[in-house]
C-alpha cells in the first residue's frame, strides 16, 4: 500500500490541533481508504499545551508521530524536520489552522497519479479576511521578487502541497540554513500543477506572523534567491560617478568663464547627505548578503530536537 505523510508545523496551536486532526481523519476515512497514512506533527517550541495535545493524539492513534524542538526555530525549520522524518511515498505540508483544506488532498493525489505531475501546489486567489495593507505589501513583494530572481515565485502560493518522494528527497538535499521554502520548491524544479482556492480563515487561535516577521521573511526571500540588489547598488554607484563627472566639467567651465563665485554651500550639504545616504544603503545591502554567508558558513543545525515519539518507543522496549 502506498503511504502519505502529512507534515504539520505547529507553534502554539493547542486549540487548532485537535480540530485539525478530526477534520483530517474525516477526510482520510472518506477519501483514502486505499492508502496508508502517517501524521508528523512538529512542535516548533510552543509555549502552550501543543506538545501534550500531540502526545494525547499519539496515545489514541499509532499513525501519529511527533517531533518537539528545543525552542522556536520557525516554520521553515519545522517543515524541514518534518520532511526529513517523513517515510511516505507522497508527502504533504499543512498548517494546523485548517487554512489548508484537507478536502483538496484527494484531488491533488489524483493529479499526481493520473496526470504525471511530481507536485501539486495550492494558491489562494483571494486574500479575504486579511488586513488590506498586508495584502498590498504581499502583492508588491511578489512583483519585486519575480523581477529580481530567475526563480519563479507564485503570488498567493501556500506551503500546502503534495509531493512525490523524489521531489522531497531533492528538497532534503538542500541543507541551507537560511531557508525560504517557496524558493526552494521552485528551485528543485519538477512538474508542478497549481490548484486555486478561496482563502479560508483560521479555525482557532491567532496568526503567528506579525508584519515585522513577514517583512524579515520577505528580505530573506530576496537575498536567498536573487543577487540583483548587489547589481542595483553597483549601477547606482556608477550612475553617481557619471553625474559627479558631468558636474565637475560644468563647474570648471563656469569658473573659466564667470570667475569663481563662492556660492552653493547649502546645495553642497544636501548632496553630501544624499550621497552618503545612498552609500550606507548599498553597504547595508552588501551587509545582508555577508551576514547570510556568515550564518551559512557556521553550519549550525537547522533545528534541535528535544523529544520525539521514538524515545517513547525505545523506553517501552528497554
Ligand atoms: N508556525 C510555526 N512556527 C512559527 C510560526 C508559525 O510552526 O514560528 C506554524 C503555525 O503553527 C501554523 C503555520 O505555521 O500551523 C502557519 O502559521 P499562521 O497560520 O500563523 O500563518 P498565516 O496563515 O496567518 O500566514
Ligand atoms: Mg494560518
Query: Rounded to an integer, what distance in angstroms lies between the CA atom of residue 74 and that of residue 261?
Result: 61
Quick one: 79 and 143 in the same domain?
yes
Task: Assign 285 a pLDDT band (cuts: 50, 70, 90).
Answer: confident
Best residue for ligand 1 mutational test, from 19, 75, 201 (most atoms within 8 Å of Cβ):
75
Question: 3-class SS at 200?
Answer: coil
Total number of residues shown for the chain? 318
- How far, in Å, is the centroid of ligand 1 from the Cα of 224? 21
Quick one: 71 and 101 in the same domain?
yes
Query: Rounded to an integer, what distance in angstroms lies between the CA atom of residue 271 and that of residue 277?
Result: 10
Quick one: 8 and 155 in the same domain?
yes
Quick one: 155 and 290 in the same domain?
no
Can you tell me which atom of ligand 1 is nearest the CA of 12?
11
The whole-chain average pLDDT of the chain stands at: 85
Quick one: 160 and 181 in the same domain?
yes
Please check the confidence at residue 317 and state whether its pLDDT lies above 70.
no
Quick one: 31 and 175 in the same domain?
yes
Residue in 68, 101, 72 with CA at minimum distance from that of residue 85: 68
Residue in 114, 115, 100, 116 with CA at minimum distance from that of residue 6: 100
Spatial contact of 51 and 66, defined as CB atoms under 8 Å apart: yes
Grid coordinates in use for 160? 500546502
Quick one: 111 and 221 in the same domain?
yes
pLDDT digits (tens, 9 = 90+) for 204-242: 777 777 788 888 888 888 888 888 888 888 888 888 888
Residue in 9, 83, 92 with CA at minimum distance from that of residue 46: 9
Beta-bridge mates of residue 90: 4, 164
Give the closest ligand to the alpha carbon of residue 95: 1
Quick one: 90 and 103 in the same domain?
yes
- For residue 163, the model assigns a pLDDT of 94
Quick one: 67 and 147 in the same domain?
yes
List, as own/partner pairs, every contact residues 53-62 make where C-beta atoms lie below 8 angstroms and the sequence separation is at least 24, other chains included: 53/13, 53/14, 53/17, 53/18, 54/10, 54/17, 57/17, 57/18, 57/21, 58/309, 58/312
Quick one: 156 and 275 in the same domain?
no
Best residue for ligand 1 mutational test, from 9, 74, 179 (most atoms within 8 Å of Cβ):
9
Say how many domains are in the chain.
2
Give the closest ligand to the alpha carbon of residue 75: 1
Can you tell me which atom of ligand 1 is nearest the CA of 78?
7
Can you tell me which atom of ligand 1 is nearest the CA of 10?
11
Handedness of CA 197, 200, 202, 207 (dihedral sign): positive
Quick one: 144 and 288 in the same domain?
no
- How far, in Å, is the centroid of ligand 1 from the Cα of 207? 6
Spatial contact of 105 and 27, defined as CB atoms under 8 Å apart: yes
Please check the confidence at residue 170 and state whether its pLDDT lies above 90.
yes
- For residue 182, the model assigns a pLDDT of 83
Scanning the chain, the segments in alpha helix (DSSP H) are 16-31, 50-60, 75-85, 105-115, 132-148, 165-172, 181-188, 211-225, 228-258, 265-298, 309-317
Can you tell me which atom of ligand 1 is nearest the CA of 42?
7
Which of 37-46, 209-218, 238-247, 260-269 has the weakest average pLDDT?
260-269
- For residue 79, the model assigns a pLDDT of 94
- Taking the whole predicted model, whether its pTM rises above 0.75 is answered as yes
Please check the confidence at residue 261 and state whether its pLDDT lies above 70.
no
- For residue 206, the model assigns a pLDDT of 75
- For residue 8, the model assigns a pLDDT of 94
Tell me the residue range of the domain where 251 lies.
228-297
Which residue is associated with the grid cell 520577505? 218
Best residue for ligand 1 mutational test, from 95, 131, 206, 212 (most atoms within 8 Å of Cβ):
95
Spatial contact of 99 and 202, defined as CB atoms under 8 Å apart: yes
Grid coordinates in use for 156? 498567493
Spatial contact of 52 and 88, defined as CB atoms under 8 Å apart: no
Spatial contact of 192 and 157, defined as CB atoms under 8 Å apart: no
- For residue 9, the model assigns a pLDDT of 93
Q: What is the CATH number of the domain that holds 105?
A: 3.90.550.10
Query: Rounded to an integer, what distance in angstroms lies between the CA atom of residue 12 and that of residue 70?
Result: 14
- How far, in Å, is the centroid of ligand 1 from the Cα of 206? 9
pLDDT digits (tens, 9 = 90+) for 131-160: 788 788 888 888 888 888 877 878 878 889
Please check the confidence at residue 203 and state whether its pLDDT lies above 90.
no
Can you tell me which atom of ligand 1 is nearest the CA of 73?
8
- For residue 136, the model assigns a pLDDT of 84
Which of 51-55, 206-210, 294-298 has the weakest average pLDDT?
206-210
- How far, in Å, is the centroid of ligand 2 from the Cα of 96? 7
Grid coordinates in use for 293? 554567508
Quick one: 189 and 313 in the same domain?
yes
Can you tell me which atom of ligand 1 is nearest the CA of 202?
19
pLDDT mean over 296-312: 85
Residues with a CB atom less than 6 Å from ligand 1: 9-11, 13, 44, 72, 74-75, 78, 95-97, 99, 202, 207-209
Give the closest ligand to the alpha carbon of residue 8: 1
Amino acid at each position: 500500500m502506498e503511504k502519505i505523510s502529512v507534515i504539520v508545523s505547529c507553534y502554539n496551536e493547542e486549540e487548532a490541533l485537535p480540530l485539525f486532526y478530526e477534520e483530517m481523519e474525516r477526510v482520510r476515512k472518506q477519501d483514502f481508504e486505499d492508502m496508508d497514512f502517517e501524521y508528523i506533527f512538529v512542535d516548533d517550541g510552543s509555549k502552550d499545551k501543543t506538545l501534550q495535545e500531540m502526545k494525547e493524539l499519539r496515545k489514541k492513534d499509532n499513525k501519529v508521530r511527533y517531533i518537539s524542538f528545543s525552542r522556536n526555530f520557525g516554520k521553515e525549520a519545522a517543515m524541514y524536520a518534518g520532511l526529513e522524518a517523513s517515510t511516505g511515498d507522497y508527502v504533504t505540508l499543512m498548517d494546523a489552522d485548517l487554512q489548508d483544506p484537507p478536502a483538496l488532498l484527494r484531488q491533488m493525489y489524483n493529479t499526481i497519479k493520473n496526470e504525471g505531475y511530481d507536485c501539486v501546489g495550492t494558491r489562494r486567489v483571494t486574500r479575504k479576511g486579511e488586513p488590506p495593507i498586508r495584502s498590498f505589501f504581499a502583492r508588491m513583494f511578489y512583483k519585486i521578487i519575480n523581477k529580481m530572481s530567475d526563480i519563479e515565485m507564485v503570488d498567493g502560493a501556500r506551503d500546502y502541497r503534495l509531493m512525490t518522494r523524489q521531489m522531497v528527497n531533492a528538497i532534503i538535499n538542500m541543507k541551507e540554513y537560511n531557508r525560504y521554502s517557496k524558493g526552494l520548491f521552485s528551485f528543485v524544479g519538477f512538474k508542478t500543477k497549481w490548484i486555486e482556492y478561496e482563502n479560508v480563515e483560521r479555525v482557532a487561535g491567532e496568526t503567528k506572523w506579525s508584519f515585522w516577521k513577514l517583512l524579515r521573511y520577505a528580505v530573506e526571500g530576496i537575498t536567498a534567491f536573487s543577487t540583483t540588489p548587489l547589481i542595483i547598488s553597483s549601477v547606482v554607484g556608477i550612475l553617481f560617478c557619471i553625474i559627479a563627472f558631468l558636474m565637475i566639467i560644468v563647474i570648471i567651465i563656469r569658473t573659466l568663464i564667470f570667475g569663481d563665485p563662492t556660492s552653493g554651500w547649502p546645495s553642497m550639504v544636501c548632496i553630501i547627505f544624499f550621497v552618503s545616504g545612498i552609500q550606507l544603503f548599498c553597504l547595508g545591502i552588501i551587509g545582508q548578503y555577508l551576514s547570510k554567508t556568515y550564518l551559512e558558513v557556521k553550519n549550525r543545525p537547522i533545528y534541535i530536537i528535544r523529544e520525539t515519539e521514538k524515545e517513547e518507543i525505545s523506553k517501552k522496549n528497554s
